[in-house]
Amino acid sequence: MLDRETFQGPWAGLPVPWTDADVFDEETFRRDVSHCCEAGIPGVYSGGTSGEFYAMELEEFKVISTALVEECHGHGTPAMVGCSSTYSRGACLRAEWAAEIGADAIQVALPYWMGVGDEQVVPFFREVARAAGHLPLSINETTRAKKALTLAQHQAIREALPNYLMVKANAGTIGTEPDGCQALSELVNVFVSEDRWPDLGPRGAIGRCSALVYWNPRYALGLWVKLKEARWEELREAAPKLKSLSDYLSAYFGPKGFTDTAYDRMGGRASGFLKTGLKSRGPYPAATLGDVEALQRWYREHFPEMLEQ
């Protein structure tokens, strides 16, 4: 079972490929999962934002998560299943399935359509954890859920649920601030974006729910080695290129209304690592082959390492 010593590193948060008929492309998905495992990525998960948990039915979720777990376990790689939903029962049904198929961990965010009151935070996570048979729990903390948890709330969740092992800290949450990251890392593993590793690694950050790791595993896993070995200056040297990539993506593709999954499909295809299709589920816009080619051109000029497998 995963623990704080093993629940670390850049975990690949994969998008789900859809056919032109808008149904799950299982063959391509299994191939992408297998490719991640063979590349030595520490863990693979789906059912997060890039995996479009918000745009799939429960029966689709069951087929997708089963394929994920089977493929990962066939390679000896841990698999985490995202179980977020707009309501408790929806998250619990997904968590029950994750436990049934032998997932190694679950990830869940607070329901996001209507804000969750402070008094309901711990009971929500307790209910989902119970449904999952107390599998290792990761919280996807995002301001999309209309609430940023306090350190006291994280502490209360950890006291109620010893299986709470990791938080995916997104912008605007306590784990992305130096003092908050340090305090939070005393409770659970804190995952932040790779560009924050130089600043937050010394404060305890120990991984990432990552797209970069399947945009280019060689490059991202090289950064992971530097984080584990506390090579902070080398990580700082890499940070400007990561920022320039982020700035380019925001400036060029942001006006197109891209969601997380559109960016991540495009990035995985631009390096040639993923075979996933570019289709996003509507009403959200998808990247095009022209967008992939534009990113490749930018890589060749500004960040050629991203094209080197």
What does the chain come to in residues? Answer: 309
Beta strands in 94-251 (DSSP E): 105-108, 137-141, 164-169, 189-191, 205-210
pLDDT at position 169 is: 98
Cβ pair 261, 51 in contact under 8 A: yes
For 74, residues 6+ apart whose C-beta sits below 8 A from its C-beta are: 34, 37
Report the C-alpha gap between 38 and 24 in whole angstroms: 23
pLDDT tens digits for range 237-292: 999 999 999 999 999 999 999 999 999 999 999 999 999 999 999 999 999 999 99
pLDDT at position 308 is: 81
Q: pTM of this prediction? A: 0.97
Six-digit token string for 140: 């996807």
pLDDT at position 41 is: 98
Mean pLDDT per 10-residue segment, the chain (309 residues): 96 97 98 98 97 97 98 98 98 98 98 95 98 97 96 98 98 98 98 97 98 98 98 97 97 96 98 97 97 98 92
pLDDT at position 107 is: 98
pLDDT at position 176 is: 98
Six-digit token string for 118: 């402070």
Domains and CATH numbers, the chain: 9-230 (3.20.20.70)
